Amino acid sequence: AGCPPQPVVPEPAPTPAPMAETRIIVDQRGIEVEVPKQIERLVALPMPLPSIIFSIVGSGESVIGMHPTSMVAVERGILAEMAPELLKADTGFVTKGFEVNLEELLKLNPDVVIQWGHVPEVVEAMERAGLPVIVIEFRMQEGECSQDNFEEWLRIVGELFGKEERAAELIGMQREIISEVMTRVAEIPQADRPSTLLLFRLDNGLVRTVGGGWSS
């Protein structure tokens, strides 16, 4: 007589992978954006962001993609020495202006993308592709304080990386300097104040200035 059939023991069900921790960041649209708690792969399209991130985080390791103009600034400035890791960031996903090649951007597998608010169609396309997008605004219109706006950028980056205290420290330092300057010039008549010509060089080599409506 043969051996009795042995009962079939089912394979244990695989343990589901733990869900990555996330948190909510409110961007300058007032939109709540769910992002990973630990940001390791960030794409920053607004040009000031790489230097802002370095000043708050102390490293550029998390920046895996940036605008080509940002890369030019890194290469030509002190950041190339202070944060050489920024030189590894990809720029090839940017097509023109602040438009992107979504396929190339998705290949970077970013945890989060930061984008300007004045290209809502680009933001919407990235969101439809499943990317978390934090929007910051370029607010320089009359009646709006550019310093307040810049402080919002610092706040958002600080929250994104869990560096709220460092962001607050930088904001406090800036406010102290602005207050000192304003105190020193308060009693100088406008007619006696020196005029300033602000020039900056574009990527194509042309030199540009700004009009009277500019505030900084």
Binning pLDDT at 50, 70 and 90, where does residue 195 land? confident
Strand partners, 32: 26
- Could you give the 3-state DSSP secondary structure of residue 159? helix
Q: Encode burial over 189-202: b for 16+ CB neighbours within 10 A, e otherwise.
A: eeeeeeeeeeeeee
Digit-coded pLDDT (tens) for 34-70: 999 999 999 999 999 999 999 999 999 999 999 999 9
| pTM of the predicted model over 0.75 | yes
Question: How are the residues of the chain apportioned to helix, strand and coil, as percentages rounded to the nearest 5?
Answer: 40, 15, 45
DSSP state of 86: G
Measured in degrees and rounded to the nearest 5, phi and psi for residue 44 equal -120, 110
Asked if the model's pLDDT at residue 211 lies above 80, the reply is: no
Asked if the model's pLDDT at residue 92 lies above 90, the reply is: yes
Q: What is the mean pLDDT of residues 85-105?
A: 95
HSE-CB of 87 using CA atoms within 13 angstroms? 10
Cβ pair 160, 35 in contact under 8 A: yes
